[in-house]
Amino acid sequence: MPRKRNLRTRLNLANKMNFRFVTLLAVVTTAVVAISSGFSDLHAKPDSERQAYLGNLLKQDCGSCHGLKLKGGLGTPLRPEIIKDRSDEVLIETILTGIPGTPMPAWKGLLSNEDVSWIVKLLREGAIKSD
Query: Between residues 39 and 121, which one has the greater pLDDT?
Result: 121
Which of these ranges, 61-65, 118-122, 127-131, has the smallest mean pLDDT?
Answer: 127-131
Query: What pLDDT shows up at residue 32?
Result: 46
Give the mean model confidence (pLDDT) for residues 48-73: 93
C-alpha to C-alpha distance for 92 and 41, rounded to whole angstroms: 12
Give the mean model confidence (pLDDT) for residues 84-90: 96
Contact (CB, 8 A) for 80 and 69 = no
Whole-number Cα distances in Å, 119 to 28, 38, 75, 84, 128? 30, 15, 16, 14, 11
Question: Which residues have CB under 8 Å from 37's CB, separation 6+?
Answer: none
Query: What pLDDT shows up at residue 94?
Result: 97
Give the mean model confidence (pLDDT) for residues 64-84: 94
C-alpha to C-alpha distance for 73 and 96, rounded to whole angstroms: 20
End-to-end CA distance of the chain: 87
Q: Does residue 34 surpass a pLDDT of 50?
A: no
Identify the CATH number of the domain defined by range 48-125: 1.10.760.10
Which of these ranges, 14-18, 25-29, 113-117, has the smallest mean pLDDT?
Answer: 25-29
Q: Does residue 40 surpass a pLDDT of 50?
A: no
Which of these ranges, 2-6, 15-19, 36-40, 41-45, has the smallest mean pLDDT?
Answer: 36-40
For the full predicted model, state whether its pTM sits above 0.75.
no
SS3 assignment, position 40: coil
Query: What pLDDT shows up at residue 45?
Result: 85
Q: Where are the domains of the chain?
A: 1-38, 48-125
To the nearest whole number, what is the mean pLDDT of the chain?
80
